Amino acid sequence: MARIFHVLDTLGIGGAENMIACLARWQASEGHAVHVHGANGGGPIADRLHAMQVPVTWSASPHYAPALWALYRQIRIFSPDVVHCHNIVPTLLGTIAGRLAGVKCLVTTRHGPRTRSEKAERRYWLAARWHRHVVAVSEITRADIAGSRFADPSKLVTISTAADRPDTTPPPDAPPRHGFTLVSVGRLVQEKSYETLLEALLLARAEAPDVHLWLVGDGVERAALEQRAHALHLDEHVLFLGARSNVGYWLQHADLFVMSSTSEGLPVSLLEAFAMERAVVATDAGGIPDAVEGAQAGLIVPSRDPRALAAAILRLKRDPDERRLLELNARRAYEDRFSIARMGRAYQRLYGL
């Protein structure tokens, strides 16, 4: 069995963080010794990992030098066979610390598209020279990353993001169901374009007044989105639920999963929706169309187009037979292509284990 050391930005709530926690749990269940380190701080994911009996550490400083020293010390103590870095900053830190510690196998995963910073991309690819592989989480992400003038396409491989079936524990504050309920799960940030979803909800309700929305997640845009919902007179029809550990409950009790993103890799929340047998209406961002259309699990519309989003929502509301077929396809795709075990075995082969 191997010793595997994961390095990520923080241990906060997010799709990549959730995926890494699931991967670490699966690797530990296979008998590997696993350690997870947050290069830029701790967060709620640490509690989940502790509950899984996966050791967790993090840097207490956001500054580069102390973070690098903290990471190096942990790698020396753990003495891993593999250091697996996730995204740009952890790769920069993990490459230096791993090389200094004499780790023979370095692997880096990109969980989303290229950044707009050429400086960051250049530094990333300089660090990636020391890595066995650069993993993209979808074919679209791989093509995007390969488009950087600093990229080394020969190092790029694709291992699709995966997800565990999410927790379905009923919350004490479960709201009563009213009509046809949409659910969207994600951080409340600009890239998710939730203002587009609110506008689509307004348009859909003009034809079907029983459509409602649950927003599961939190983030810097929450106050602005709540104000926008108020301005659109949607206060009684949009429920801002904040970050939730029992995402599966909200997916299970909604009628349709919706994504309005403008930028994505392959979002974990989408795969969780597949796992919970939800049909999908989503935008053409990143790896979403490949996953949804490949699975025949939903409808894809252009990003930033509330009319198209509303029309797709209404189509599936009015056709429960089509929606049921998409739901069954979603569940089948999850089991065949997006389980944690499938992803874990792919990474195991990549490590050379």
Asked if residue 158 lies in contact with residue 111, where contact means CB atoms within 8 angstroms, the answer is no
Evaluate whether 3-162+339-351 and 180-337 have a shared fold.
Answer: yes
Q: What is the pLDDT of residue 18?
A: 85
Amino acid 107: pLDDT = 98
**353 vs 192 pLDDT, higher one:** 192
Q: Would the pLDDT of 48 be above 90?
A: no
Domain residue spans in the chain? 3-162+339-351, 180-337
Phi, then psi, of 285 in degrees rounded to 5: -90, 135
pLDDT value at residue 276: 97
The CATH number of the domain covering residues in 180-337: 3.40.50.2000
Report the distance separating Cα 30 and Cα 228, nearest Å. 47
Output the CA torsion sign for 59, 60, 64, 69.
negative
Cα 174 from chain centre: 25
The answer, yes or no, to whether residue 13 has pLDDT greater than 80, is: no
Place of tokens 């790029």: 156
- Classify domain 3-162+339-351 at the CATH superfamily level: Glycogen Phosphorylase B; (3.40.50.2000)
Phi, psi (5° rounding) for residue 38?
Answer: -90, 110
231-267: per-residue pLDDT in tens? 999 999 999 999 998 999 999 999 999 999 999 888 9
Query: Residue 168's pLDDT band (boundaries 50, 70, 90)?
Result: very high
Q: What is the pLDDT of residue 307?
A: 98
Is residue 2 within 8 Å of residue 351, measured between CB atoms?
yes
How many Cβ atoms from other residues are within 10 Å of residue 69's Cβ? Answer: 14
pLDDT digits (tens, 9 = 90+) for 52-105: 889 999 998 888 899 999 999 999 999 999 999 999 999 999 999 999 999 999
